Amino acid sequence: MSRIRPAELDERLGTDDEPLLLDIRPESDYQREAIEGSRSVPVYDDLRGGDDSALRRRLGEIPDDREVVTVCKMGIVAARAARVLDDAGYEASTLSGGMSGWNGYQRGSFSYTLRSLWWRLRG
């Protein structure tokens, strides 16, 4: 399963290579803040509890003609969603750091800068 860093995602938004952003967080979190153009499929709590059936039931709502980037709070549960999508034949990846990473990138925060350096060092 692959990951996409916030800076790379930002570069791809609005281009011919724009992925579908699948935000799996609870609907209330999505309503409070979301990446523009993302689609809400609120299966976070189910996936966090180890149940992927809610996401599997909703696969028909997810186009398979482009990469899907899963988004959650920190990226951990979104990785589970990306694995389900991979297993179902989708090209899927996870937004590194989730919404926390995206927000840090948008603000240019020091913690994001450190995290970004860590990601680069890990390869």
pLDDT in tens, 93-111: 999 999 998 998 888 766 6
Prediction pTM value: 0.88
Q: What is the distance between the alpha carbons of residues 50 and 30, in angstroms, rounded to a whole number?
A: 21
Quick one: which of 81, 28, 24 has its CA closest to 50?
81
Beta strands in 6-109 (DSSP E): 20-23, 39-40, 68-71, 92-95
Q: Residue 118: pLDDT above 80? A: no
pLDDT at 71 over 90: yes
Coil, helix or strand for 5?
Answer: coil
Q: How confident is the model at residue 115 (pLDDT cuts 50, 70, 90)?
A: low
CATH number of 2-122: 3.40.250.10
- pLDDT tens digits, one per residue of 7-52: 999 999 999 999 999 999 999 999 999 999 999 999 999 999 999 9
Using DSSP's 3-state secondary structure scheme, residue 49 falls into: coil
Ranges of each domain in the chain = 2-122
